[in-house]
Amino acid sequence: MTTVYVPRDSSARSVGADEVAAAIKQEAARRSAAVEVVRNGSRGLMWLEPLVEVATAQGRVAYGPVTPDDVAGLFGAGFLEGAVHELGHGFTDRIPWLAEQDRLTFSRVGVVDPLSTPDYQTHGGLSALERALTMTPRQICDEVTESGLRGRGGAGFPTGVKWRTVLDAPGTEKFVVCNADEGDSGTFADRMLMEGDPFMLIEAMVIAGIAVGAREGMIYIRSEYPDAVATMRAAIRTAYQAGWLGPRVLGSDHQFDLEIRVGAGAYICGEETAMLESLEGKRGMVRAKPPLPAIEGLFGKPTAINNVLSLASVLVVLARGSGFYRDFGVGRSRGTQVFQLAGNVARGGIVETAFGMTLGEMLEKFAGGSASGRPIRAVQVGGPLGAYLAPAQFDLPLDYEAFAQVGAMVGHGGIVVFDDTVDMAAQARFAMEFCAAESCGKCTPCRVGAVRGVELIDRIVAGENADANVALLEDLCELMTDGSLCAMGGLTPLPVRSVLLHFSEDLHRSKGARP
Amino acid sequence: MTVKPPADRDLAPRYVPWSEEAALAVMRALPALRGPLLPVLHALQESFGYVDPKAVALVAHELNLSRADVHGVLTFYSDLRTSPPGEVRVQVCRGEACQSVGGHALAEHAVSSLSVGFGETAADGSVTLEEVFCLGNCAVGPTVRVNGRLHGRVHAAGLDRLIRDSTPSGEPA
């Protein structure tokens, strides 16, 4: 029996993985070849999807991108023995793009059958939880703090400190909430982790529960991710059956119950307090802070809210020690970040690497330039609220502080590449337009400011009192930054200001500065 | 309850016609939850294809909320619709990653070829066109979702084919 892996990841499915899996089964039956097709997660080499792997005695051999029409030829060439083929890439683990990464949180994604508990345990699953069960909540919080792990959702707050605050908060009922409302364009790491390694998130949620003294957890997943929702729900059912969740976690005295909640198309619900409102069944309106959710969160109870990637990193910290994790990275950005190469790139996908690589190295070595072959003109890092970076800034190291210093942000690690056909005035306008569309409406700088921002950019582009309107736009950006209740209105000026600073020629086209 | 479409064609799910009895049955089949409003509205939309405005009073009564609370939530979230969707539901990603690989052109093509604007359903109920801000398929864009099924690397001709294949009669939508 030969095992053939065809990803079930929704991105792979969007480019034909289901059809390829069906074609392989059909061709195997026609040839009476003993083939078992396993639907794994994606390895994250998205330009090669659907990426088919064949398990050989020497290791897994990769072929891609495979179409259903290629399948008969692959069988004919002997791909079940790992034979050479024009779509072949040799042993998957030795593909330089993959081999040169530091896959810590993504170590199982694309490797295992996502819903197989034996696979999970064979590949190191549960070792972090087993260790956590021997520790006190305080020790767990300390270990996470010592690792230097900072929240991967975008804000970069130390995870261990947050957990300690919840642990120390008075009250018998506490919650753990996972923020899987990954709304930033250019980001898909949370989705791939949930689809490719769902038990990881369950294990991490249980550990968070032990660390902060919570018996209940919720994972808030955006509705745009139906495959992730289905995979997580199936994994939770299995975890209950296996005793990984429920009244006695792994036979211990710890109780932990876990539930999935699905969003409804509101970007703002990725903001933690809006998410809490949504979980409570209300409009996703941002709450004023303080009180911090760690003190008064879900249903008014102390709540630890963590991003999917933060929780995934906690498993690495506990399984391999805080020192191991802290040894990756630079300055105050410790560990690895899961960068997501997206947009107009030749080689898009998941690049998990230690903090500190320069943006230019990322674009050259991993992205391989633009997909169109044209020069890269702008790169937006950190989602719709992140700055656009110009080629002159590509020597910037990917770390929180270095980016913050130039008015940019690493955020959730999304890197969206644009070639020289991009109209940066349109991108600045879109930033304001997006804010106007997605603002919860609670505070005026965001609700009204974004609408005024769109109007101002239109006037500048039309050449109406351009200089005065640019000054007014800068003023508006300052007001939104300082006066908004949350990051939605507070960070929308980041992309707008970056356009004013580095791509202003596009705003003044009517003056003939740029064709 | 929705009837699954045949596996090889992306047909729209068949929805149950709205009735108070059916709505109550859907709501009462759900497990008891804390903060149940959003899961309840999701369940109603899955069954009927939309949340009928008549459901507002019903949901408010069942969950012991005010009608204003229910109306407020129903109108806040862009996923929730208060009128039936078209036979074919086309969602086009408008996020930056898709913009960088021809998303604008694809969006314009969708509007002109379907003769409906974003957020609109054709008068004959054949198609609903929606814009979505990121489907998380950012390395293989431009991305669309047709009747719930995700498609990457889609350009104008590909979109036409997807819509044609999804139309029950096989005619262009």
Kindly identify which residue of chain B lies nearest to residue A429, measuring between CA atoms.
B96
Name which CATH class applies to A424-511.
mainly alpha
CATH number of B88-165: 3.40.30.10
Q: Does B155 touch chain A (CB under 8 A)?
A: no
Judge whether A410 and A381 are in contact, CB under 8 Å.
Answer: yes
Question: Taking the model in full, what pTM does it have?
Answer: 0.96
pLDDT of B172 over the 50 cut: no
At A337-355, the pLDDT tens digits run 999 999 999 999 999 999 9
Specify the DSSP class assigned to residue A138.
Answer: H
At A251-279, the pLDDT tens digits run 999 999 999 999 999 999 999 999 999 99
A481 Rama class: left (phi>0) / alpha (psi -120 to 50) / beta: alpha
What fold characterizes domain A329-419? Answer: Ubiquitin-like (UB roll) (3.10.20)
Kindly identify which residue of chain B lies nearest to residue A423, measuring between CA atoms.
B100
- What distance in Å separates the CA atoms of residue B24 and residue B55, rounded to the nearest whole number? 9
Residue B12, pLDDT score: 56
Name which CATH class applies to A2-99.
alpha beta
Q: Which of B44, B98, B100 to mutate to test the interface with A (most CBs of A within 10 A)?
A: B100
A208 Rama class: left (phi>0) / alpha (psi -120 to 50) / beta: alpha
Q: What is the rounded average pLDDT of the residues A130-139?
A: 98
Count how many residues are written for chain B.
173
Residues whose CB falls within 8 Å of the CB of residue A74, separated by 6 or more in sequence, listed in order:
A52, A63, A66, A85, A87
Cβ-based neighbour number of residue B125 at 10 Å: 12
Residue A156, pLDDT score: 87
Residue contact B35–A280, C-beta within 8 A: yes
Q: Which of A185, A268, A280 to mutate to test the interface with B (most CBs of B within 10 A)?
A: A185
pLDDT of A160 over the 70 cut: yes
Residue B1, pLDDT score: 38
Residue B11 binned pLDDT confidence (cut-offs 50, 70, 90): low
CB pairs under 8 A between A and B: 148
- Which residues in chain A have their CB less than 8 angstroms from residue B98's CB? 185, 343
- So what's the ipTM on this one? 0.94
Q: Does B79 touch chain A (CB under 8 A)?
A: yes
Q: Does A186 touch chain B (CB under 8 A)?
A: yes
pLDDT of A46 over the 70 cut: yes
- What distance in Å separates the CA atoms of residue B153 and residue A162, rounded to the nearest whole number? 40
How many angstroms away from the CA of B45 is the closest CA of chain A?
Answer: 11
For chain B, positions 43-62, list CB contacts with chain A under 8 A.
none
Helix-, strand-, coil-residue percentages of chain B, each rounded to 5: 40, 15, 50
Hey, where are the domains in chain B?
20-76, 88-165
Kindly identify which residue of chain B lies nearest to residue A342, measuring between CA atoms.
B139
How many angstroms away from the CA of B74 is the closest CA of chain A?
Answer: 8
Judge whether B132 and A226 are in contact, CB under 8 Å.
Answer: no
Residue contact A262–B42, C-beta within 8 A: yes
How many angstroms away from the CA of B77 is the closest CA of chain A?
Answer: 6
Residue contact A345–B139, C-beta within 8 A: yes
Q: What percent of chain B has pLDDT over 70?
A: 88
- Which residues in chain A have their CB less than 8 angstroms from residue B37's CB? 281-282
φ, ψ for residue B127, nearest 5 deg:
-150, 145
Residue A515 binned pLDDT confidence (cut-offs 50, 70, 90): very low
φ, ψ for residue B130, nearest 5 deg:
-135, 150
- Which residues in chain A have their CB less than 8 angstroms from residue B92's CB? none
Is the peptide bond prior to A375 cis by the omega test (within 30 degrees of 0)?
no
Token pair of A40, please?
A: 């794994």
Kindly identify which residue of chain A lies nearest to residue B141, measuring between CA atoms.
A343
Residue A216, pLDDT score: 98
- Which residues in chain A have their CB less than 8 angstroms from residue B146's CB? none
Residues whose CB falls within 8 Å of the CB of residue A438, separated by 6 or more in sequence, listed in order:
A266, A267, A268, A488, B133
- Degrees (nearest 5) of the Cα angle B40, B45, B51? 90
Hey, where are the domains in chain A?
2-99, 117-326, 329-419, 424-511
Residue contact A226–B148, C-beta within 8 A: yes
Kindly identify which residue of chain B lies nearest to residue A189, measuring between CA atoms.
B136
- Which residues in chain A have their CB less than 8 angstroms from residue B96's CB? 185-186, 343, 380, 384, 416, 427, 430
Judge whether A112 and A119 are in contact, CB under 8 Å.
Answer: yes
- What distance in Å separates the CA atoms of residue A508 and residue A110, rounded to the nearest whole number? 47
At A17-41, the pLDDT tens digits run 999 999 999 999 999 999 999 999 9
- Which residues in chain B have their CB less than 8 angstroms from residue A280's CB? 34-35
- Which residues in chain A have their CB less than 8 angstroms from residue B34's CB? 280, 299
Residue B10 binned pLDDT confidence (cut-offs 50, 70, 90): low
Burial class of residue A1 in the structure, from the number of CB atoms within 10 Å of its CB (0-12 exposed, 13-18 middle, 19+ buried): exposed
At A73-115, the pLDDT tens digits run 999 999 999 999 999 999 999 999 999 999 999 999 999 999 9
Residue contact A281–B138, C-beta within 8 A: no
Q: What is the rounded average pLDDT of the residues A211-223?
A: 98
- Which residues in chain A have their CB less than 8 angstroms from residue B140's CB? 11, 14-15, 46-47, 49, 348
- Per the listing, tokens 């899955």 go with B46
Residue A154, pLDDT score: 82
- What distance in Å separates the CA atoms of residue A254 and residue A212, rounded to the nearest whole number? 12
- Which residues in chain B have their CB less than 8 angstroms from residue A182's CB? 136
- What distance in Å separates the CA atoms of residue A507 and residue A509, rounded to the nearest whole number? 6
Residue A390 binned pLDDT confidence (cut-offs 50, 70, 90): very high
pLDDT of A484 over the 90 cut: yes
- Which residues in chain A have their CB less than 8 angstroms from residue B72's CB? 282-283
How many angstroms away from the CA of A139 is the closest CA of chain B?
Answer: 31
CATH number of A117-326: 3.40.50.11540
At A6-15, the pLDDT tens digits run 999 999 999 9
pLDDT of A512 over the 60 cut: no
